[in-house]
C-alpha cells in the first residue's frame, strides 16, 4: 500500500518564485532561471511514491536537492508547487495545527548532527517528543525506556550526551524518533558524521530495527554503498531532479545515463549484488523416494558430486553426496531417505554476496537459495558467483 506520494514537487529559493516557475514551465534550465531571475531551483518537478514499510533512499552529490526534498516532506521547508500526500492527505494544504499533529505523531526526523539537548539526560532526551504530546511523566518514561532498549542503551539512561560516543549519540537520536511510534522516519544523512566502522554498525542496527518494526523510511545519503545496503528502492538526484529510480540492481545494472554510470563504476559488487542475481537453477533435484543409483547417474551426467533433495512442492529437505549414494548402492539401500544430509549452507535470494563469500569458501557443497516458504529457488556455486561478478562489471563498463 502506498504511504507517501510526491507529485511534481518544486522548491524555488528567492523572493520571486512565480517568475522562476514561469520560466521552468517554458523549459528553461536551472542555470538559465538563476541568470534571468536570481532565483535558485532547489527541487524541480519531482515525483515518486513510497510504499508502507519500505526503505526508500534518496542519494546524490552535495547540492543535488536531496535534503531540501526531505525537508519539504514534513514542511520544514515549504515547497513552491506540488503535492505531498501522506496516507492520501496533502500536507501542503493542511492547517498549522494539523501539520503540528502530523509532525508529532506520524513523522519523526533524525538529523546528521544528532541534535540532542546537552543539559538533559538520555532518558529525558528520548522522552522529549512525548513531553510535547503532554503525556504524563510515567507514560513518557515508560515509552522512552522501551525505545532506549531497542537501540541497546539501557545502561545509559541517566548519562548526558557529552559522555557518549558519536555512534551512541546517534542511537539516542533514533530512540527519540522511535519513542513516539511514528509511521514514517525521515533520516537526513544520519550516519555521515560517524567513523567508517561505527557507521557500518549503525547501518546494521538500522536494518535489524527495520526488520522488526517495518517503518516507512526515507533515508538521505551521498554514499552509494550505504544506499545499496539500506534501500529497497533508490532515487538518484542531480540538479534538483530525480534522474533514475528503482531497485538497487536496476541502478547498478541498467544506469540510465553517463551520470548514473559514473556513480556506480567503482562499486564493490560483492556488497551490491544479491544471491538472486548470480544464482543458477539446480540442474536436477532428487526426491526422498528416489534411489541412490538414479542419483549417481544424474551426478555423472551433469558432472557434479552432490544433489539437493526436495519434496514434490520444491521444499528443500537436504542434500546427498556421491560417496553416500555409492555406499547406499553397495549396501542394497534403494531409497534416499536414510542418507539425506541437512547441514548445507542456506540463504535467501536478497542476501548480498559479501555476506556469503566466507561461507562459500568453507563449504564443500553448493549453497541453497530458498524463499520464505523454504522452496529451493536456485544454487550458488563458486563458478556462478565469479561469472556473475564478471558479467556485472562488463555491463557497467559498456
pLDDT top residue among 196 and 321: 321
d(CA 210, CA 192): 19
Return the ∠ at Cα 28 (arms to 4 and 221), rounded to 5°: 40
The yes-or-no verdict on residue 271 having pLDDT over 60 is yes
pLDDT for 184: 96
Please report which confidence band the pLDDT of residue 390 belongs to, taking 50, 70 and 90 as the band edges: low
User: Within 10 Å of residue 53's Cβ, how many Cβ atoms?
Assistant: 15
Domains of the chain are 2-106+182-267 (3.40.50.300), 276-391 (3.10.580.10)
**Per residue in 139-183, pLDDT tens?**
999 999 999 998 889 889 999 999 998 888 888 999 999 998 999
Residue 54: is its pLDDT beyond 70?
yes
What are the tens digits of pLDDT across the range 100-114? Answer: 999 988 999 988 777
pTM for this model (two decimals) = 0.74
For residue 275, CA distances in Å to 92, 308, 329, 355, 394 come to 42, 18, 35, 10, 18
Choice between 387 and 336, residue whose per-residue pLDDT is larger: 336
- Cα–Cα distance for residue pair 321/305, rounded to 1 Å: 6
Locate 332 and state its grid cell: 542394497
pLDDT tens readout for residues 336-363: 988 999 998 999 998 888 888 888 878 8
**Whether the Cβ atoms of residue 221 and residue 57 lie closer than 8 Å to each other:** yes
- State the SS3 of the chain: CEEEEEEEEEEEECCCHHHHHHHHHCCCCHHHHHHHHCCEEEEEEEEEEEECCCEEEEECCCCCCHHHHHHHHCCCCCCCEEEEEECCEECCCCCHHHHHHHHHHCEEEECCCCCCCCCCCHHHHHCHHHHHCCCCHHHHHHHHHHHHHHCCCHHHCCCCHHHCCHHHHHHHHHHHHHHCCCCEEEEECCCCCCCHHHHHHHHHHHHHHHHHHCCEEEEEECCHHHHHHHCCEEEEEECCEEEEEECHHHHHHCCCCHHHHHHHCCCCHHHHCEHHHHCECCCCCECCCCCHHHHHHHHHHHCCCEEEEECCCCEEEEEEEHHHHHHHHHCCCCCCHHHCECCCCEECCCCEHHHCHHHHHCCCCCEEEECCCCEEEEEECHHHHHHHHHHHHHHHHC
In this structure, are residues 265 and 306 in contact, taking their beta carbons and an 8 Å threshold? no
In this prediction, residue 156 carries a pLDDT of 93
Structural contact between residues 369 and 348, judged by C-beta atoms closer than 8 angstroms: yes
Whether residue 42 is predicted with pLDDT greater than 60 in this model: the reply is: yes
pLDDT at 398: 47
The residues facing 106 across adjacent strands are none
The answer to whether the beta carbons of residues 59 and 235 sit under 8 Å apart is yes
Burial of 196 (C-beta count, 10 Å sphere; 0-12/13-18/19+): exposed
What is the number of other CB atoms lying within 10 angstroms of the CB of residue 200?
A: 15
pLDDT at 397: 47
pLDDT at 393 (0 to 100): 47
Q: If you average pLDDT over residues 63-82, what whole number do you get?
A: 95
| Averaged pLDDT for residues 199-222 | 90
Amino acid at each position: 500500500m502506498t504511504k507517501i506520494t510526491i507529485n511534481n514537487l518544486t522548491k524555488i529559493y528567492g523572493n520571486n518564485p512565480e517568475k522562476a516557475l514561469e520560466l521552468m514551465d517554458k523549459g528553461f534550465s536551472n542555470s538559465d532561471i538563476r541568470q534571468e531571475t536570481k532565483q535558485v531551483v532547489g527541487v524541480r518537478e519531482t515525483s515518486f511514491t513510497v510504499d508502507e514499510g519500505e526503505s526508500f533512499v534518496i542519494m546524490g552529490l552535495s547540492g543535488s536537492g536531496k535534503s531540501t526534498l526531505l525537508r519539504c516532506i514534513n514542511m520544514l521547508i515549504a515547497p513552491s508547487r506540488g503535492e505531498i500526500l501522506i496516507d492520501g492527505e496533502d500536507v501542503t494544504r493542511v492547517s498549522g495545527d494539523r501539520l503540528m499533529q502530523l509532525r508529532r505523531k506520524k513523522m519523526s526526523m533524525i538529523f546528521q548532527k544528532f541534535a540532542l539537548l546537552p543539559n538533559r539526560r538520555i532518558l529525558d532526551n528520548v522522552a522529549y517528543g512525548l513531553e510535547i504530546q503532554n503525556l504524563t511523566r510515567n507514560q513518557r518514561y515508560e515509552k522512552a525506556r522501551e525505545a532506549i532498549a531497542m537501540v541497546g542503551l539501557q545502561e545509559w539512561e541517566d548519562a548526558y550526551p557529552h559522555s557518549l560516543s558519536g555512534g551512541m549519540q546517534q542511537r539516542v537520536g533514533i530512540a527519540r524518533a522511535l519513542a513516539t511510534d511514528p509511521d514514517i522516519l525521515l533520516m537526513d544523512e544520519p550516519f555521515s558524521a560517524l567513523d567508517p566502522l561505527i557507521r557500518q554498525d549503525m547501518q546494521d542496527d538500522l536494518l535489524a530495527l527495520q526488520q522488526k518494526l517495518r517503518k516507512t523510511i526515507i533515508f538521505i545519503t551521498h554514499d552509494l554503498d550505504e544506499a545499496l545496503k539500506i534501500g529497497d528502492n533508490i532515487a538518484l538526484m542531480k540538479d534538483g531532479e530525480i534522474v533514475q529510480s528503482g531497485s538497487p540492481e536496476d541502478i547498478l545494472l541498467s544506469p540510465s545515463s553517463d551520470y548514473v554510470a559514473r556513480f556506480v563504476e567503482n562499486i564493490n559488487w560483492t556488497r551490491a549484488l544479491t544471491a538472486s542475481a548470480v544464482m543458477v537453477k539446480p540442474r536436477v533435484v532428487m526426491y526422498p523416494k528416489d534411489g541412490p543409483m538414479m542419483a549417481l547417474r544424474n551426478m555423472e551426467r551433469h558432472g557434479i558430486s552432490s544433489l539437493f533433495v526436495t519434496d514434490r512442492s520444491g521444499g528443500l529437505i537436504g542434500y546427498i553426496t556421491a560417496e553416500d549414494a555409492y555406499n547406499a548402492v553397495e549396501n542394497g539401500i534403494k531409497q534416499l531417505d536414510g542418507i539425506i544430509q541437512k547441514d548445507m549452507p542456506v540463504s535467501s535470494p536478497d542476501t548480498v554476496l559479501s555476506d556469503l563469500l566466507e561461507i562459500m569458501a568453507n563449504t564443500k557443497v553448493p549453497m541453497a537459495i530458498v524463499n520464505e516458504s523454504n522452496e529451493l529457488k536456485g544454487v550458488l556455486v563458486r563458478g556462478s558467483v565469479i561469472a556473475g561478478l564478471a558479467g556485472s562489471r562488463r555491463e557497467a563498463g559498456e
